[in-house]
Chain A
Amino acid sequence: MNCRSFRKRQAELFDVCPDPATTADLLAHAAECSKCGQELRELREVVSQIAPAQRLHASSKVKERIMNSIDKQDAIQLAGATSRPRYWKLLRVAALAAILLMAIFVVGRFTGQGGSTPSSPFAATLAQAAEFVQGVKTIHISARMRTIPMDNFDYIDLEAPLIPVEMWKDFGNQSRVRIKKQGRQIAADGNGTTMLVESGAGPLVFKFDGTAEQCFSTLAPILHPDTLFQRERGAAEESDSVVSVATKIGSDGRKKTILTISAEAQGDFSKSDYLRNTMIIMSDNTRIYTFDAQTSRLEGLQVFVKTKEADVLVFETTKIEYDIPLKPSLFRLDVPENAILYKEPTEMGAKDNSWMQPDGVAGEFFEALRKSDWKTAKQLGAIWIDNPERQRTYAGLKVISIGKPFQSGLYRGWFVPYEIKLKCGEVKKHNLAVRNDNPKHQWSYDGGF
């Protein structure tokens, strides 16, 4: 080897893994030639001067975030590919994968101090969605929800089939809303809200001032894409949610932003799990929002509830339409003539019972039924008893036992375990819900019968 070829190939000595044979040849020349040997030493000195003596490496969370993202990508793709009803079991598997993996790979955790800075993907995604909706006039959402017909709009039942839920909102001056599912519908025309429930005792009508969002708090967020960010951020902060944002190409070939929020159940379940998984907010859940990446338009929402055995899809939108014409009559309910108008117990002349304990209220409730004292039963909130068939069924019942009252989850009332025997011989064992969270602390029946 001469000096010229040494200079030409000397750089190979600075490669990551120099070829041993080449190295030997080059070093042999450097040993023989003082000029080339000197240059090699000087260049090596330069390299050692500028090479970092210490290196930074990625923070430990980066890999977790990456693996979490790809796992969710897989889960979402699988869920998307198996969303037809006959593949329901596969969909559950996909959801299970998604949620389990999210439990393992924590992406970003919301705290009061950090996580959702305005520049974070989470904030940006929802803020863009809010911006988009500024120009929206109407929205129509078709969805499916795992719930019981007739029961309240927030109630979920993991064993129930998915039933259709339709929602409309007019973002005009009066912010009108209509929600409908089998056996229950609600309409707000900007001035007041009417809710119609097809109970076994006949139609029940509830009237409220303004827009009674407390009747559909689970569904309210997607009817308000403009405040979705604030709502989700608030909820996320409260429940220490895990949030991630990913992108994927949808079946329409357009880029989608997938916002996934995994939240723990809210409420106190230390005494009882009775209400766990009866509302989305009271369940460990994962909400997967799909936005069109270009327009920031909300295109879908899926909600999964995590249980020990499986992860269950409890809500999914099937269609979202924007700016379709909505008739004003859509936001008014035709109330049947035979409907029973719900009145607060105090409006029905109920005596002050604020001094009572929950189990005492339950005892009075059953006693009223036993004695066929329908007036007292109604004053306690059992307006559905105004039905001859029901009166025949419950008259003369016998109380076998009344247990110790307990509370569960976010519910502000109490549950009183009971066991009764009806005249027909049927034994009924359940928990009666009573509550007094009203200004006068008047106790009334709230369900469970």
Chain B
Amino acid sequence: MSVERPADSQPRQQGCEGTWNSGWPQTREEFEALVDIVLDRLVWYALRLLGSVDDAEDVIQDVLVRVYADRAKRKNVEQVVPYLYRMVANACKEHQRRDRKRPTAIESVRLEEIPDEQGGAQTHLDVVNGLRWVEELLDQLPPRQADVIRLRVIDDLTLSDIAHILCCSLPTAKSRLYYGLRKLRQIVPHAQEDNR
């Protein structure tokens, strides 16, 4: 993994340009286009679930290879991106079950595990430590609200996609985001003080 530095410090809004509106990829070219759009986001998501960069990349590789292998079977799937996230979530669970690992969360990422490609290993670690801090905050929220916030703010998914991933209605997803952020508002100032 390497670090991508946004031009500004605001949360990215990558979905505006980088959404996948086509159906399930049926050709190599379509598949590659999908990979270009979702790869980073899926690896990031798997990293959040598995806590290991290597494991995250391995799981995503397996999932995306399956996406192509099963393309005929899934050609009628309409919500491709949410489907991918569900596949990744299931694959991460399976990975943890197979390895008899407890969910390790972000804290298990070690400095030496992160290849120093572009941003430097220390910067990687800073990113991972930031995620750990956010996880500690979200752990204080009701899980359903925390899930929506993770998918929206950390994983940069649209509310529509989030609703599909979590199998809830769009208004429910909006409601969970709103009330989750309100609760978080009460926690963040204290957490910032603790963090200092």
Chain B associates with chain A:
yes
Q: Is the CB of B152 within 8 A of A14?
A: yes
Q: Is the CB of B156 within 8 A of A57?
A: no
Q: Is the CB of B185 within 8 A of A46?
A: yes
A62 to B69, CA, bound (A): 17
Instruction: Specify the chain A residue showing the minimal Cβ separation from B130.
Output: A52
Interface residues of B in 2-19 (CB under 8 A from A): 2-6, 9-16
Residues of chain B with a CB closer than 8 A to A48's CB: 9-11
Instruction: Specify the chain A residue showing the minimal Cβ separation from B42.
Output: A58
Judged by a CB distance under 8 angstroms, whether B43 is at the interface is: yes
| With known contacts A54-B3, A63-B35, A69-B65, A15–B158 Cβ distance under 8 A | yes
**A7: which of B40, B138, B178, B192 is its contact (CB, 8 Å)?**
B178
Instruction: Using C-beta atoms within 8 Å of the partner chain, give the interface range for chain B.
Output: 35 or more
Chain A residues within 8 Å of chain B by Cβ, number: 42
Smallest beta-carbon distance B103→chain A, Å: 19
A60 to B119, CA, bound (A): 13
Instruction: Specify the chain A residue showing the minimal Cβ separation from B174.
Output: A11
Smallest beta-carbon distance B113→chain A, Å: 12
Q: Is the CB of A57 within 8 A of B44?
A: yes
Judged by a CB distance under 8 angstroms, whether B77 is at the interface is: no
Given known contacts A8-B178, A59-B1, what 10 new A-B pairs fall within 8 Å (CB)? A14-B177, A15-B152, A17-B13, A48-B9, A48-B10, A52-B134, A53-B130, A56-B127, A57-B1, A58-B57
Residues of chain B with a CB closer than 8 A to A9's CB: 174
Q: Is the CB of B153 within 8 A of A47?
A: yes
Encode contact with B along A343-372: 1 for CB under 8 Å, 0 otherwise.
000000000000000000000000000000
Q: Is the CB of B4 within 8 A of A54?
A: yes
Residues of chain B with a CB closer than 8 A to A55's CB: 3-4, 6, 12, 40, 44, 127
Instruction: Specify the chain B residue showing the minimal Cβ separation from A44.
Output: B181
Judged by a CB distance under 8 angstroms, whether A65 is at the interface is: yes
Q: Is the CB of B65 within 8 A of A46?
A: no
| With known contacts A11-B175, A16-B15, A62–B43 Cβ distance under 8 A | yes
| With known contacts A54-B6, A66-B35, A66-B61, A59–B13 Cβ distance under 8 A | no
Judged by a CB distance under 8 angstroms, whether A248 is at the interface is: yes
A-B contact pairs, 17 of them (CB 8 A): A17-B13, A17-B158, A43-B181, A45-B185, A46-B188, A50-B154, A51-B11, A53-B130, A54-B6, A55-B6, A56-B53, A57-B1, A57-B43, A63-B39, A66-B65, A70-B65, A73-B65
Smallest beta-carbon distance A115→chain B, Å: 13
Interface residues of B in 133-154 (CB under 8 A from A): 134, 137-138, 149, 152-154
Q: Is the CB of B188 within 8 A of A58?
A: no
